[in-house]
Each structure stands twice: as structure tokens, then as C-alpha cells.
Amino acid sequence: SQQGEEDPQALSIQEGENATMNCSYKTSINNLQWYRQNSGRGLVHLILIRSNEREKHSGRLRVTLDTSKKSSSLLITASRAADTASYFCATASGGSYIPTFGRGTSLIVHP
Amino acid sequence: GAGVSQSPSNKVTEKGKDVELRCDPISGHTALYWYRQSLGQGLEFLIYFQGNSAPDKSGLPSDRFSAERTGGSVSTLTIQRTQQEDSAVYLCASSSRDRGAYEQYFGPGTRLTVT
């Protein structure tokens, strides 16, 4: 069963716009990660946020975590066509080193 | 340095045949994971190796699936008597299990098609 669920399932925007994706999860977590996947192949790690953190930035990426709502959001600012990909959140709970992935958000950025 | 590599990149096999998928993790990474991804779906955990510990096989869908990791490095995922529902992309990832280091490095995957 999926721990994290991304929303929306699909997102289509114009280049230059911001893209926001959300992830909700069910049980308490140690950390939450966001990954990007191009063309159904390997995933690339984007950012990790720990349960005691509320916000992290990396370049054009901004991730927030609200543990009271069991949710996280990934914001991509000033999107580019190259940002077109699927984005997944992954959560780790308890003493597990096995992250659980959601089904992903498919982002299309039109040039 | 080199990333995670997987071979073959594509494999087409007939139903009932056995297949072996290979993963070369990043040198020095003690943790290795296998996942399966069906079209348009998320990642389904299959098996996890950590150093010399017994692997976590809790995600293997049936006894037709097995995996081994030799010398704490290369891993092979074997699917016996393949079925059409085994068709998917099989992804391998490795990580350095330092304190708090959960970041995984993924290989490009093997696309398996069972006809």
C-alpha cells in the first residue's frame, strides 16, 4: 500500500509559471524525500526534508513539510521545459531504511 | 564517479522463461534496493540488502522472484517462469547508510517485456 500520495496526478503549465505538487502520507515519518523521473527510467533525488524541518530550498525548488497535516509540497519556480518529468515523494518511518514511494505527479511544462 | 548501472537495459522474453537482471551499485554503498514499476504506477519495493545482514525480502511478490548480492556489491534479481504480469521496469538503487543518509541513487532500470 502507498504511504505517500501525490496530488495532482497530472499538471500542465507554461514555461515560466510556478508548479506546485503536494504529497500526503498516513503515518509519522522520519523524513520525506522528493525525486524526479524522466521518461520512465531512473529516479533522481531532489531534496530530503527531516521531520523536524519545515522548509528547505535548493535552487528553484522549495519544499515544505507540515507534520500536523501529514503533508508536504514541492514548488518549482520559474519552470522550464526541461522540468517536464514525473515527481515522486518518498517517506521513511520508524527504523526503516526502505522509503515508500507514491504514484507520482506527471508535470508537463510547455515551451 | 560511476553511478548505478543495470543490465540489460531492455529484455524481451517468452512466458515461462527465466530471466536475470543485474545491478552494479555505486562503489562503497552498503545498501542496495530493488523496485518494480509498472506503467504509470509508483515504485513497488521488492528487496533490500544492507551489508552482511540478511536481506529484507518482504516485497517479493512470489517465490518465483529471488535476488542475491555477491561480495556486498553486484546484485542479481532472478525471475523464474516469467508471467505477463511481470512486465515492468525493474529499478535498482544504492545508498550509503550513514546516519540519516536515506538518499538513494537509482540506475536507469531494466525494461522487461514478457510475451
Say what the pLDDT of residue A1 is. 44
Largest CA distance in chain A: 43
Q: Is A88 within 8 Å of B33 when comparing Cβ atoms?
A: no
Q: Does B33 touch chain A (CB under 8 A)?
A: yes
Report the gap between the CA of B84 and the closest CA in chain A (Å).
19
> For residue B78, is pLDDT > 90?
yes
The grid cell for B62 is: 512470489
Selected residues 10-29 of chain A with any CB under 8 Å from a CB in chain B: none
Radius of gyration of chain B (CA): 14
CA nearest to B93, candidates A77, A103, A35: A35
Strand partners, A100: A91
The pLDDT confidence band at residue B98, using thresholds 50, 70 and 90, is low
Q: How close are the terminal C-alpha atoms of chain B, in Å?
A: 37
C-alpha cell at B39: 506503467
**How large is the average pLDDT for residues B30-38?**
93
Distance between A34 CA and the closest CA of chain B, angstroms: 10
The single residue listed with the C-alpha cell 515492468 is B88
pLDDT given at position B99: 46
Complete DSSP assignment for B49-87: EETTSPPB-TT--STTEEEEEGGGS-EEEEE-S--GGG-
- The stretch A44-67 carries a mean pLDDT of 95
Which pLDDT tens digit goes with each residue over A58-87?
999 999 999 999 999 999 999 999 999 999
Beta bridge partners of B94: B32, B105
Rg (alpha carbons) of chain A, rounded to whole number: 13
Classify A88 in phi/psi space as left (phi over 0), alpha (psi -120 to 50) or beta: beta
* Distance from C-alpha of A90 to C-alpha of A35, rounded to nearest angstrom: 8
Indicate the pLDDT class of residue B36, thresholds 50, 70 and 90: very high
Most A-contacting residue of B35, B97, B98, B102 (CB-CB within 10 A), to test interface: B102
Contact between chains at A97 and B50 (C-beta distance less than 8 A)? yes
